[in-house]
A and B are shown apart, each in its own frame.
Chain A
Amino acid sequence: MMQKIMLMLSFLVFYPGFAGAQFKGEIVGQGGQKFPIAVSPLKNLGTTPDGAKLSEGLADTMAYDLDLSGWFKVLDRSAYIEHPQSTGITLGAFDFKDWSAIGAEGLVKGGFSVQGDEVTVELRLFDVYQNKERIGKRYTGKVKDYRRIAHKFVDEIVNQFTGVPGIFNSRLTYVSTSGGRFKEIHVSHLDGTEKFQVTNNRTINLSPSWTPDGRAVLYSSFKDRVQTLFLFELYSGKEIKFSPHAGRLISGKVSPDGKSVAATLESGGNSNLYLLDLNGNVIRKLTEETGIAVSPSWSPDGRQIVYVSDRAGSPQIYVLDVAGGKSRRLTYSGGYNTSPEWSPKGDRVVYTGRVGSRFAIFSISGDGGDPRKLTSESSDSEDPTWSPDGRFIAFSSNRAGKYQLYIMQATGENQRRLTGSGGDDTKPSWSPRLD
């Protein structure tokens, strides 16, 4: 009887959508615990002498992503029984008992072969209970880009469980002082690799965000003395400077259709939202504040913009209907609410709110209602940004001393530090999924 129940439970886990619409996206193992998965070092199917690096590097990258998600318990490699280089990687060519014996419910196995500067990688996800293969994929790419392959496969694993692909093949852009005194714009892969510095101008650079195709970063800078926006194309190195006729551009976000920018233009002391084209020319003014309207963020359908206004006497979150021009207030609790970002799922807005003397991250329905506090106010957590699937939030926190970047699930669970640097890392913005 026990056997039957266990088989049924693993059936629930592996077939997406079964868990019910409101819990879609949840991955659980037996007894509601994290899903135990083993990630075997890959088998060298060719003759490259560099095998160990790829064998373990591919497995390490997948293990890191699976662990970071908070959904999986990646079993310790030191407990693995079989020898990966002398065991088969396809169904029937290895013994599932070697894996059920250590408590694995899922298993990732595969192999690779190197030809020149290219590598071909085969990866499979196995269901240890049912002795079945769930996913089998083959990828080809440059050897130096091997991590991308690992990220893509983890995204497939997540898709298999939940019906929505994972977000581990993605990037963050953020501000870092790198231990010095200048705030520069950086880009890295979510796992902290492939670091790239967009600016190195020794002034103040802020508020980076992505174009919807993930190919360019919009940021503000004082590098030409007057603060304005720059659109930097990652792959060509080309940059467009936005030059308003008057005033300063404080920040901006590219619209979901990629055709325009919602930006804050400050002139004569007043900061308002404007709609700009991709060259920085004003299309129209969006708000009419005699005070402050800043930090616009688009809803995924491009019809609404969530932003911060001080019209009520202190910074609060408002929602603008772009076509009609009317705004409604979203936050009524707390005396200082800023930094809103609309989830790519369209349902919720995440923001930073002051609690006592500290800042914490909250989420609230886009329709209003009670906010949910997601982080502790024993330290500061700020600058939240959504993952492209709306299931994770990256943010900046000084809970360990200097500001570093963290990740958590949208519920606030499983808060983990992303790779740190020597300096303050702030204002992360999460890219769309990479190809």
Chain B
Amino acid sequence: MAHSNLGYWGLVVVIGLAVGGCAPSATPKPEGASSSASGSKSPAGQQSGAGQGSGTKESATAPGSLDALQKGQSTATPASSPLKDVFFDYDSYGLRADARQVLKANADWLKQNPSARVEVEGHCDERGTSEYNLALGAKRAQSAKDYLATLGIAGDRLSTISYGEEIQVCKQANEDCWRQNRRARFVTMPSRPAS
């Protein structure tokens, strides 16, 4: 390196420079601000209703957890959602009896709504490393998807994604909250257009 390279910093092309960390209170983002992240191409929620299955009525498609996080909305599965969450033990991706019950009910709904496509989200509680938890969340999502396959749900209707410990539905450091976060969540996606 040249000897007088102390001016290198001046060559930095600033992308998205923000003065961070000086004031203790960062400017709060207004609740429900709809400025989506650049590059985020999620159509979820904007085409809901188009081509949805007949029969069973369902509430408007709730956004997936990342979309909800970005919009400042609740990341919990709404009580009105026809597809319920399944829960897991600590550091485990095995399906308990209660989880299998929920998956059976979810499979029934999916059979009654044959054009519905679902993203299975895997989540973890906040303990441990984010990387390990991203892998564990993937295991949880896959566990749920594999079980749904044994119940006759075609794999191409289900995508999986892991958010690890990154999107929590509650923040307390206790087992009651941790238990709620160790979940797989089922988010209906817009149907594919007819080819």
Which A residues contact B (CB, under 8 angstroms)? 139-142, 144-145, 148-149, 176, 178-183, 186, 188, 192, 194-204, 206-207, 222-227, 234-237, 248, 250-251, 264, 266, 268-271, 291-292, 294-295, 308, 310, 314-315, 336, 338-339, 352, 354, 359, 382-383, 419-423, 426-427, 435
Q: Are B21 and A224 in contact (CB under 8 A)?
A: no
Note all chain A residues with C-beta closer than 8 A to B163: 204, 222
B4, B42, B69, B127: the one contacting A225 at CB < 8 Å is: B42
Q: A201-B38, A201-B39, A422-B26 are in contact. List 13 more A-B contacts (CB 8 A).
A: A181-B29, A186-B21, A197-B16, A198-B15, A203-B37, A235-B13, A250-B135, A315-B91, A336-B128, A338-B128, A359-B127, A420-B21, A426-B130
Known: A142-B7, A225-B40. A250 touches B134 (CB 8 A): yes
Q: Are B136 and A292 in contact (CB under 8 A)?
A: yes
Note all chain B residues with C-beta closer than 8 A to A222: 66, 163
CB distance from B30 to the nearest CB of A (A): 11
Q: Are A176 and B91 in contact (CB under 8 A)?
A: no
CB distance from B194 to the nearest CB of A (A): 24
Q: Are A207 and B131 in contact (CB under 8 A)?
A: yes
CB distance from B119 to the nearest CB of A (A): 10
In angstroms, Cα B4 to Cα A279, docked, is 32
Q: Are B131 and A294 in contact (CB under 8 A)?
A: yes
What is the chain A residue whose CB lies nearest that of B136?
Answer: A292
Q: Are B7 and A248 in contact (CB under 8 A)?
A: no
A149, A269, A422, A427: the one contacting B142 at CB < 8 Å is: A269
What is the chain A residue whose CB lies nearest that of B18?
Answer: A197
Note all chain A residues with C-beta closer than 8 A to B11: 235
Q: Are A203 and B70 in contact (CB under 8 A)?
A: yes
Which B residues contact A (CB, under 8 angstroms)? 1, 4-21, 23-26, 28-29, 35-42, 66, 69-70, 72, 91, 127-132, 134-136, 138-139, 141-143, 145-146, 160-163, 166-167
Known: A195-B19, A200-B16, A291-B139. A149 touches B6 (CB 8 A): yes
What is the chain B residue whose CB lies nearest that of A336?
Answer: B128
Note all chain B residues with C-beta closer than 8 A to A207: 130-131
In angstroms, Cα B91 to Cα A225, docked, is 25
Known: A338-B128, A352-B129. A142 touches B21 (CB 8 A): no
Note all chain B residues with C-beta closer than 8 A to A142: 6-7, 10
A141, A149, A268, A422: the one contacting B25 at CB < 8 Å is: A422
Q: Are B21 and A195 in contact (CB under 8 A)?
A: yes
Q: Are A421 and B21 in contact (CB under 8 A)?
A: yes
Q: Are B20 and A235 in contact (CB under 8 A)?
A: no
Q: Are A336 and B91 in contact (CB under 8 A)?
A: yes
CB distance from B139 to the nearest CB of A (A): 5
Note all chain B residues with C-beta closer than 8 A to A336: 91, 128
In angstroms, Cα B106 to Cα A326, docked, is 42
Q: Are B37 and A202 in contact (CB under 8 A)?
A: yes
